[in-house]
Amino acid sequence: MEWLGRASVTFTHPEDALELPRKAAKPVSDSPDSSASTVSLAQLCRDSTPTCQLNPLLFNGHLQTMWTAVAKSAPAIHYRRHIFQSVHDTYEGTFAVDFVVPPYDETEHADPVLPPRTAYFSDADFAELDKGSDDKRPMLLVLHGLSGGSYEVYLRHCLEPLLKKAAEAEDADDESADWAIAVVNARGCANSELTSGVLFNARATWDVRQVAAWAKEKFPNRPLFGLGFSLGANIMTNYVGEEGAACPLSAAVVVGNPFDLQVSNKLLQSTIIGRNIYEVFMGSNVKKLAFKHREALEKYSTLDFDRIGKVRYLYEFDRAVQCPTWGYPTEEAYYRDASSSDSVLAIRIPFLALQAKDDPIAVEAGIPYGEFALNPYTVLCVTSMGGHLSWFETGGGRWHAKPVSAFLHKLATEIDLKAVKRDQFDVNSNQRPGVGYQPMQRKMHIGKD
């Protein structure tokens, strides 16, 4: 059936999956036990995941992935941008956060320097937002993929259903369907100015941590959620793992996470298409990003632009930029240390990962199936087809938007998130006294924040 576009969908999780308490009179599924006071995280994920019917003409991961260069249509999401000053001693400088706002007249308000449908907040308007609120609207923090931004097509497809649910909500007083959304752009991405010597980093959890802390302070009653794509999925997984049971997010979703960066990189280099198309394409994008910010990088860092100018492949960029920036001896040391596969074991909030077996970039060989099968707070959903952040349906829709938005909506509207227990399981226990695995122990020393 797969050659007709019907992808199989499998779920990986422990038998004792986390039980989620329901809100009163909020049935979560059509299953026979829908009247029960709880529903398992695994069942909620299944209930959120529809049949995966993709475009039969895009019958493998390469075709799905490459079609993204052609299929540019996407929902018109409007943003207002604010520049945050980093409070981290080491990861200093500024970063841009794009907040979803109601549509506005682009001819009058859009900034020609910024991506489409994006304009800066006025000082007065952001000051009003910064006052905070005691509302209970769910709030979503989003991380994009490598060298991308809030404008990305795959990202906007996932945001539109959440915004539609708010518009279609029968009960206008039900704040749980009215989503507030903010996209945290990576340093220097989405036409943001670079004010330090640091671009993106696969372990760069500090900016999303700062925005989450800001949101928690300003909007103490809002449940916070996380959503990450590709490199942003790796960062989001690392962040949630680093925070553990103290994570300010109520739940998170990641899509197309490379998980094991070393494995993904090795497999990309081992094939003709991987090395000469994907590695070159991604290397070209990040190289352009570095040269776009050359003046700032030369001012704030000691990067060698003669060396960067010779970069052809992504791994060469990481060798020329990430290694000297962070003190890694090799790019493979960076990949091992920044990978998020071990972070899965440290997660203590409801967590869904969506992957495609035929993803040529976030390769299946890097997916930590065993870790997902061990941690009751996590569920792994894998489709047999879909490519990298693609999942194109006949007619141009993107299938991944359906399970992502449905899962987040069900959590926000039907689950009592405050009652979810975060100390219910000791995932990293060991039978030998005094012996235990520390999944978040890293080799890169990061200064105090």
Q: How do residues 247-261 score in pLDDT, each as one tens digit?
A: 999 999 999 999 999
Active site residue 301: no
Q: Which of 40, 48, 176, 230 is catalytic?
A: 230
Would 39 be classed as within a structural domain?
no
Specify the higher pLDDT residue, 276 or 29: 276
For 117-162, write each residue's pLDDT tens digit: 999 999 999 999 999 999 999 999 999 999 999 999 999 999 999 9
Would 131 be classed as within a structural domain?
yes
Q: What's the pLDDT band for 46 if we cut at 50, 70, 90?
A: very high
Specify the higher pLDDT residue, 424 or 79: 79
CATH number for the domain harbouring residue 174: 3.40.50
Active site residue 429: no
For 426-439, write each residue's pLDDT tens digit: 776 665 666 678 89
User: Shortest CA distance to 404 belongs to which of 379, 374, 368?
Assistant: 379
**Residue 445 pLDDT > 80, yes or no?**
no
Would 387 be classed as within a structural domain?
no
**Residue 430 confidence (pLDDT):** 61
For 307-338, write each residue's pLDDT tens digit: 999 999 999 999 999 999 999 999 999 999 99
Q: What range does the domain containing 107 cover?
A: 78-260+339-355+398-419
Would 42 be classed as within a structural domain?
no
For 270-288, write each residue's pLDDT tens digit: 999 999 999 999 999 999 9
Residue with token string 């596969």: 341
Q: How many domains does the chain have?
A: 1
Q: Which of 82, 293, 388, 400 is catalytic?
A: 388
**Residue 91 confidence (pLDDT):** 86
Q: Which of 178, 318, 358, 359 is catalytic?
A: 359
Would 183 be classed as within a structural domain?
yes
Would 320 be classed as within a structural domain?
no
The mean per-residue pLDDT over the stretch 174-203 comes to 92
Would 304 be classed as within a structural domain?
no
242 contacts: CB under 8 Å, gap ≥ 6: 205, 343, 346, 440
- Do residues 311 and 394 lie in contact, with contact meaning Cβ atoms separated by under 8 Å? no
Q: What's the pLDDT band for 396 if we cut at 50, 70, 90?
A: confident
Active site residue 359: yes
Q: What is the mean pLDDT of the chain?
A: 92
Buried b (16+ CB within 10 A) or exposed e, 339-364: bbbbbbbbbbbbbbbbbbbbbbbbbb
Angle at 136 between CA 134 and CA 139, to 5 degrees: 110
